[in-house]
């Protein structure tokens, strides 16, 4: 195996591509982020501190930044030369854009047969879908996710607004994993390959039950878990097993309704979950969220209070786990999520340095421009 780090040429923009590239950096790859002279648009997205975007930093920590104007012949020539030195190319342009620039898989693999070329798009690289523009909120709507989530909310008259971009995050993770598989295959065969990741496919893959229910409709709606109100917030209580349910009834003071025949079997409890939770709420709404969580958990009943993101990050369990790592840009240091896995031999954590626009251009391109083609 090569002693040098895997070199990744990251043409990613905004979210899915850059996040996949950052995960590569998190496990030790040399990731070179290609930016326009104006820089990735995410550099201007809030939260901003002294003109530096923490959003951009989260997606691009651990990379080097090289500025190339791909609209010019010189920029395309430099990109091509750099791709000849890469192990992996990642991009999330609309299908066909990179090929028109002379930087598609066919052109690059002809001069670099071991290249892993990962393209992330909304609907894949081929067919009618490839022509569509694609942003995560569109994919959430088109995939059925938003209507599936709406169906979980009694009385909802329209889908909820979109604020978290699940499609982008899932596609980035799948791209990262697929690239690892392709690199392993290259160790065996010496051959590179094309990796085609679609946001639509990624989101559909998350809806395991819904895909089956679409084929085999059920007589009643899927059982969902319901928040119950406390004196100042909410908790979720999940007494799935008979043992959990019995323990919950003890915490509640062994109410008479616990013997209701509708609640004595798992199927009965599932079918009448909303009714059970409405009765539980009569007890929880007189107590704090902390007290409810403490009493239920002490009895072995799965329960959690609803927390803010800030509270979750400050939880001693999160701190002990190292769920975030410190990174630094021109405005100082801040915390970003680490990759959600740990390896016993390989360092898997966010790297501290966030690249300034173009900071690596001369250092990385200089040798190529004087004739060193890697």
Q: Convert the pLDDT of each residue in 200-245 to its tens digit.
A: 999 999 999 999 999 999 888 888 899 999 999 999 999 989 999 9
Q: How far is CA 165 from CA 15, 91, 162, in A?
A: 9, 18, 7
pLDDT at site 371: 54
Residue 162's Cβ-count burial label (10 Å; 0-12, 13-18, 19+) is middle
**Total domains in the fold of the chain:** 2
Q: How far, in Å, CA of 303 to CA of 296, rounded?
A: 6
Q: Which segments in the chain show pLDDT lower than 70?
A: 1-3, 371-374
Q: How far, in Å, CA of 62 to CA of 256, rounded?
A: 59
- The one-character DSSP state at 337 is E
pLDDT at site 219: 87
The answer to the question of residue 201 being in a domain is yes
pLDDT at site 128: 87
Q: How far, in Å, CA of 142 to CA of 132, rounded?
A: 12
- Specify whether 130 is located in the same domain as 40: yes
Residues involved in catalysis:
168
The answer to the question of residue 106 being in a domain is yes
The answer to the question of residue 224 being in a domain is no
Q: For the chain, what is the total number of helices (H) and then of strands (E)?
A: 17, 13
First to last CA, the chain: 18
Place of tokens 């995960």: 23
The sign of the torsion formed by the CA atoms of 65, 60, 356, 6 equals negative
- Give me the torsion for CA of 14, 50, 324, 166, rounded to 10°: -30
Residue finishing a domain among 305, 327, 355: 305
The answer to the question of residue 310 being in a domain is no
Instruction: Report the b/e string of 174-202 with b at 16+ CB within 10 A.
Output: bbbebbeebbeebeeeeebbebbbbbbbb
Residue finishing a domain among 305, 328, 360: 305
Structure tokens at 134: 């694609």
pLDDT at site 373: 46
pLDDT at site 256: 93
Q: How far, in Å, CA of 267 to CA of 158, rounded?
A: 30
pTM of the model: 0.92
pLDDT at site 221: 83
Residue numbers of the domain that contains 238: 234-305
Residue finishing a domain among 305, 339, 356: 305
Contact 9, 83 (CB under 8 A): yes
- Specify whether 52 is located in the same domain as 191: yes
pLDDT at site 374: 42
């Amino acid at each position: 195996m090569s002693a040098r780090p895997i070199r990744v040429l990251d043409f990613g923009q905004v979210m899915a591509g850059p996040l996949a590239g950052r995960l590569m950096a998190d496990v030790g790859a040399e990731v070179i982020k290609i930016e326009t002279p104006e820089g990735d648009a995410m550099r201007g997205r809030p939260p901003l501190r002294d003109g530096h975007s923490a959003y951009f930093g989260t997606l691009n920590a651990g990379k080097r930044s090289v500025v190339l104007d791909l609209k010019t012949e010189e920029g395309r020539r430099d990109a091509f030369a750099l791709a000849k030195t890469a192990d992996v190319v990642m991009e999330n342009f609309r299908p066909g854009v990179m090929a028109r620039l002379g930087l598609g898989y066919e052109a690059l693999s002809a001069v670099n047969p071991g290249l892993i070329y990962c393209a992330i798009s909304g609907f894949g690289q081929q067919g009618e879908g490839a022509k569509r523009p694609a942003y995560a909120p569109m994919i959430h709507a088109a995939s059925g996710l938003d209507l599936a989530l709406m169906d979980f909310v009694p009385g909802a008259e329209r889908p909820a607004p979109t604020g978290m971009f699940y499609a982008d995050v899932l596609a980035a993770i799948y791209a990262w994993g697929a690239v690892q598989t392709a690199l392993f295959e290259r160790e065996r065969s010496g051959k590179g390959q094309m990796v085609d990741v679609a946001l639509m496919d990624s989101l559909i893959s998350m809806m395991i039950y819904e895909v089956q229910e679409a084929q085999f409709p059920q007589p009643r709606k899927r059982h969902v878990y319901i928040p119950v109100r406390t004196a100042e917030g909410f908790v979720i209580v999940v007494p799935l097993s008979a043992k959990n349910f019995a323990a919950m009834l003890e915490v509640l003071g062994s109410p008479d309704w616990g013997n209701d025949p509708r609640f004595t079997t798992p199927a009965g409890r599932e079918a009448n979950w909303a009714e059970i939770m409405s009765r539980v709420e009569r007890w929880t709404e007189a107590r704090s969220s902390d007290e409810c969580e403490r009493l239920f958990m002490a009895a072995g009943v799965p329960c959690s209070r609803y927390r803010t993101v800030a509270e979750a990050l400050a939880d001693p369990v999160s701190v002990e786990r190292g769920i975030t790592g410190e990174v630094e840009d021109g405005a100082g240091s801040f915390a970003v999520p680490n990759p959600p896995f740990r390896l016993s031999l390989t360092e898997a954590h966010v790297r501290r340095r966030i690249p300034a626009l173009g900071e690596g251009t001369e250092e990385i391109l200089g040798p190529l421009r004087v004739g060193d083609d890697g």
